[in-house]
Structure 1
């Protein structure tokens, strides 16, 4: 229910507004004092304040000015009310942040419309603040380890330039996060950030995704489509898994980078753009270049500023910070109070090698939160067996190479089954085995179906 605060020294007006707004479904509080209004604003949030200019204890505009100093983002939209309105007063109120101005005697219809519009403006303002908070989280590099600090320093140093960036790192390390952080601190921060995962687009469509098309050049699609280069004009284009592009597409990207222009598929006229390109890969592009899988000239164009994102196993001191950050986020997402985690559980997470890096940590914590809806404190027993088994394996010694090999195979199979949520057919497929062969292998390694 939306909350309205009425500040007016005329009792009849207060009473009339209270009755009308209450009938409209609003929760209404009223006062005749500017000082009491400030107290009420500090004690509870309001969506709209109807503020009279002439108050017995102080000027309404002074109240408006003092309200701005209250240390909270959840301030109400203010509608100034006056029976002696002047242009000068209206201008001053607007400069102090007033949403609108109502003249006495009040029109019932106009008052309700203004209140409704003010509530909508407050909702949009809150949505914008939440969006900015989420954006800040999406671009925050969490951690106090040496690698995390080095990344933040490198981003701060390189982001304001227009130099192309190539981000290296294993899958799940947070390469997209680095790209977004670079964009957020660049001179293009107020422009678009466009992402394209080169590995997720079929070869037949990657060119049209990058450069767009005209004149119905792609069967079954719309008559024309703007490509990612065109949509990113003035902003940043993030090419994820750039090492998976074909040589043919690489040649066209190279030309677009050199000339900052391209010709959409099916078009005849080139389009000029101003785009900063950030690329990322989990491959060693120098090795791919030596093998002939990646163009050397494109590699040098992209590799102006190299970033290396370390795997999570090399920054384990950041795991507690990342864990608590993810738990706070999932607590908000699933409508739960703040979720804590015990030290023993954190220690267990630090012992796990995290082959899927930060993405795997995030996914496991989300699974724990979902599967334990009543739990407010995560303990060791709530963590999946995958994490426990890894900790047990680290403390176990192997007498022979065969023992070590079998232990690795056992853990790898269990990991795949865990990733497939126990679906044996999908697990067998991901392992490249027939289902019957997987069962035989499990029996050989002593893995029970119950486990």
Structure 2
């Protein structure tokens, strides 16, 4: 996906001319001719750069400048004006504009300025990646325009202490981004405490979050400090927050509002100062509508929202991940780095990757373990052959409907399990069923 540039100018001929020029350079463009149009465009999607005229029919572009800069990710702005004076240019730069160009604009000069701003944005994101690498995080983020935008939003979020909600499919790297936000924040020297809300029962989750007193329940032989208490001064990351039960949701809401909690079986209120990060692969708004998630809690955690796009929407990142994982697993397994056979990269890029980066990682690890040559081949990635279109596929051979449905479910569940590296908990989450039921299906072999 190319970088997107929003052009805001009341001169339609000039706007179209600039849009055509930038399109030739490979950028995506959208042109607006008024402040109101521009505000609607900014609400619909965040561009990578804004070219902004000062004199618009319904106000000054200077009024829009702070609104653009307040957006998560700090979209850069270049001012274009036919009424350029030094005081106006200085004021625009002071307010946060990247540059100020006077019309008529020389196309070559515009190209240089736009490329310079874009490169500055890329460098800033590389610095974020480098900082994450220094902090011990694994680089699983990508370098596509879509991920530049995500990284910019993470950097902006790191400068605040507000709650952040990371959404996206399983395996897209939400936990890595949460660690990145913490590593860039003022709390970086304090603990980063992770809780997976999907892997614990209600009682265990409450105890895990807030701790318990000795004798609070059978088996509680000693006092245990909860994750909230351990995260004091640092960051508490609640992964799969949509899985919290209503009673735990109520206690979490109280903790967010007052910084106060009570250990299970205790009576003394305790306090912890934490920065809250949450993540989910579920649609929280839908769960609120169905009464499964508290609306007041939803608005408490949905302050700064960052959506992580799936790998199929940023296929240009696949070569980067492939090279990273091939190097990583070749080194860990003490093997020479294999090359890719002709055409294999194209097939891997065409695959849908339902398990996203995690599935790609597992697939590369498996391929390197099983490969015996100096080259990875299509046969080392069995799912590519399974997913190839077969007009006379056995899946569609005539047979009773019940048997056909059973066969399809079996293949589908196996594919999801492969995408999670055999992790039944994650597979059950993707399938929307209980892990115990999935285990029962796999043991019985009956999927009807």
Deviations 1:257-309 (A, max 9, x none): 11112111122222211100100111111111111110011000101100101
Distance in 2 between the 1:174 and 1:151 partners? Answer: 11
Distance in 2 between the 1:218 and 1:377 partners? Answer: 57
Residue in 1 aligned with 2:78?
A: none
Distance in 2 between the 1:408 and 1:173 partners? Answer: 30
Unmatched 5+ stretches in structure 1: 1-130, 442-451
Residue in 1 aligned with 2:169?
A: 170
Moved more, 301-310 or 217-226: 217-226
Coordinate RMSD, CA, aligned: 3.3
The normalised TM-score by structure 1 is 0.60
Residue in 2 aligned with 1:319?
A: 318
Q: Is the 8 A contact 2:196 2:238 kept in 1?
A: yes
Shift of 1:334: 1.4
Deviations 1:327-359 (A, max 9, x none): 111122212233433452211111211111111
Residue in 2 aligned with 1:387?
A: 384
Residue in 2 aligned with 1:338?
A: 337
Residue in 1 aligned with 2:413?
A: 416
Q: Is the 8 A contact 2:260 2:269 kept in 1?
A: yes
Change (3 A) 1:329 1:134: farther
Distance in 1 between the 2:234 and 2:338 partners? Answer: 38
Distance in 2 between the 1:431 and 1:364 partners? Answer: 26
Shift of 1:381: 2.6
Q: Is the 8 A contact 1:142 1:321 kept in 2?
A: no
Residue in 1 aligned with 2:229?
A: 230
Q: Is the 8 A contact 2:338 2:376 kept in 1?
A: yes
Residue in 2 aligned with 1:369?
A: 368
Residue in 2 aligned with 1:216?
A: 215
Distance in 2 between the 1:242 and 1:178 partners? Answer: 16
Change (3 A) 1:142 1:279: closer
Distance in 2 between the 1:360 and 1:210 partners? Answer: 29
Aligned length: 298
Q: Is the 8 A contact 2:213 2:220 kept in 1?
A: no
Distance in 2 between the 1:411 and 1:346 partners? Answer: 28
- Output aligned runs, 1:81-230, within 5 Å: 135-138=135-138, 140-230=139-229
The normalised TM-score by structure 2 is 0.60
Residue in 2 aligned with 1:378?
A: 376
Shift of 1:417: 3.9
Deviations 1:143-168 (A, max 9, x none): 22221111111111111210100111
Q: Is the 8 A contact 1:173 1:357 kept in 2?
A: yes
Unmatched 5+ stretches in structure 2: 1-130, 423-434
SS at 2:326's partner residue? helix
Distance in 2 between the 1:170 and 1:337 partners? Answer: 33
Distance in 1 between the 2:243 and 2:274 partners? Answer: 21
SS at 1:392's partner residue? coil
SS at 2:384's partner residue? helix
Distance in 1 between the 2:182 and 2:144 partners? Answer: 23
Change (3 A) 1:413 1:181: same
Distance in 1 between the 2:175 and 2:341 partners? Answer: 30
Distance in 1 between the 2:439 and 2:350 partners? Answer: 26
SS at 2:224's partner residue? coil
Q: Is the 8 A contact 2:168 2:307 kept in 1?
A: yes
Q: Is the 8 A contact 1:348 1:391 kept in 2?
A: no
Moved more, 248-257 or 348-357: 348-357
Deviations 1:34-75 (A, max 9, x none): xxxxxxxxxxxxxxxxxxxxxxxxxxxxxxxxxxxxxxxxxx
Change (3 A) 1:376 1:133: farther
- Output aligned runs, 1:4-83, within 5 Å: none
Distance in 2 between the 1:352 and 1:431 partners? Answer: 30
